[in-house]
Amino acid sequence: MRTRNPLIVAAAAGTLLLAGCASGGSDGEASGSASEDGTMAQECQPVPGDAITVLTDDLMLQNADNVIPAVNADAATPELLAGLDAVSAVLTTDDLIQLNKAVDIDRTTSQEAATQYVADNGIESPEQGSGSIVIGAANFSENITVAEIYSAVLASAGFETEVRTIGSRETYLPALESGEIQVVPEYAATVTEFLNLAQNGADAEAVASGDVDETVAALEPLAETAGLVFGDPSAAQDQNAFAVTQGFADEYGVTSLTELAETCGTISLGGPPECPERPFCQIGLEEEYGLEVSQFDSLDAGGPLTKNALRQGQVMVGLVFSSDGELG
């Protein structure tokens, strides 16, 4: 199970309307709902199709879970950080999607995918270093692949590297803090809140946000207390996201959640059972974007049930992970 991006429990959502998105009224004209600017949104229908695409979260409902290198403070030399930051300067969400596709779907090993990625992008550290560096990884393929990318770049810069799959954050962060391992690929918002709760208690006010710069600024004092240093965040994000089929996006001309709200207003949604009660799921779509969820299908969190429901036209919108290798 992935160890980042937990959904934070909030007050339960209101009673769900169970009617699906039926087509227009008795006079044959399409019905709809009013958008926030007062215009009438059309009543949209799911569009079946194989290709799935993520809608831009332009109001930053989700916290900024950008991939960021976490380093034991005693090991955080300028040479080491330079090599890790060279990866962050290149890595994008689209890269994560392709890397995950290579490993999870095409069955390339993480090491092979990482070696090819570094070569294809010409990633080199601007500094040469030395010494032995153990790079820990969480126990899912994306994190292992990023750890292998770190390893390849650092090895070419003169470090002796080893990648070691550790497990969950509860296991690998203590190993990082103790110096048993020196580097781990992390996710900015999730590690910020993990350290925040660990240091300030279970009722601590959240400090991560959808703004990556603000999140990293909040992370820095927490990292210092934990004996950690974080490198530059990459543009690559692995976080909750809302997807539609490419056919739906093309038919209705939507690329963002704001456009979805303006165009459709009312949607059918698929996701994990807890979605209606979570601020990063249905509650957020309703309160932040003004969408009305007329049908919710209890499925899974970014798994095959949700993706199949999208492809088959069972729901318009599904909760997925932004770096899923099946995304188009």
pLDDT at residue number 40: 52
What distances in angstroms separate CA 118 from CA 124, 149, 155, 249, 278, one per listed residue?
8, 7, 12, 33, 38
* Number of C-beta neighbours around residue 304 at 10 A: 10
pLDDT above 70 for 228: yes
Name the fold adopted by 67-230: Dipeptide-binding Protein; domain 3 (3.10.105)
The strand pair at 132-138 and 67-72 is best described as: unpaired
Write the pLDDT tens digit of every residue in 62-91: 999 999 999 999 999 999 999 999 999 999
Cα distance between residue 164 and residue 148, in whole Å:
10
210, exposed or middle or buried, with CB in 10 Å at 0-12, 13-18, 19+?
middle
Write the pLDDT tens digit of every residue in 90-104: 999 999 999 999 999
Give, rounded to a whole angstrom, the gap between the first and last alpha carbons of the chain.
Answer: 23
| Separation of CA 182 from chain center | 24
pLDDT above 90 for 154: yes
What distances in angstroms separate CA 33 from CA 103, 260, 266, one per listed residue?
43, 12, 7
Give me Rg for the CA atoms of the chain: 21
Write the pLDDT tens digit of every residue in 256-310: 999 999 999 999 999 999 999 999 999 999 999 999 999 999 999 999 999 999 9
Q: For the chain, what is the mean pLDDT? A: 90
pLDDT at residue number 31: 40
Classify residue 233 by its DSSP letter. P
Q: Which of 256, 272, 275 is nearest to 264 (CA)?
A: 256
Q: Which of 94, 142, 93, 148 is nearest to 119 (CA)?
A: 148
Q: Which residue has the tokens 């596709």?
A: 101
Q: What is the residue extent of each domain of the chain?
A: 32-61+239-321, 67-230
Write the pLDDT tens digit of every residue in 8-48: 333 333 333 223 333 333 333 334 444 444 455 678 999 99
Name the fold adopted by 32-61+239-321: D-Maltodextrin-Binding Protein; domain 2 (3.40.190)
Per DSSP, what are the bridge partners of residue 245? 52
What does residue 84 show for φ and ψ, rounded to 5 degrees? -70, -40
Cα distance between residue 98 and residue 146, in whole Å:
12
Query: In what side-by-side order are the strands of the sheet with 160-167?
Result: 160-167, 132-138, 183-187, 67-72, 228-230
pLDDT at residue number 42: 77
pLDDT above 80 for 152: yes
Residue 172 · residue 165 · CB < 8 Å: no
Q: Which of 207, 230, 211 is nearest to 220 (CA)?
A: 230
Q: Which residue has the tokens 């990082």?
A: 176
Cα distance between residue 16 and residue 35, in whole Å:
20
What does residue 7 show for φ and ψ, rounded to 5 degrees? -85, 130
What 3-state class would DSSP assign to 67? strand
Residue 189 · residue 78 · CB < 8 Å: no
Which pTM was predicted? 0.86
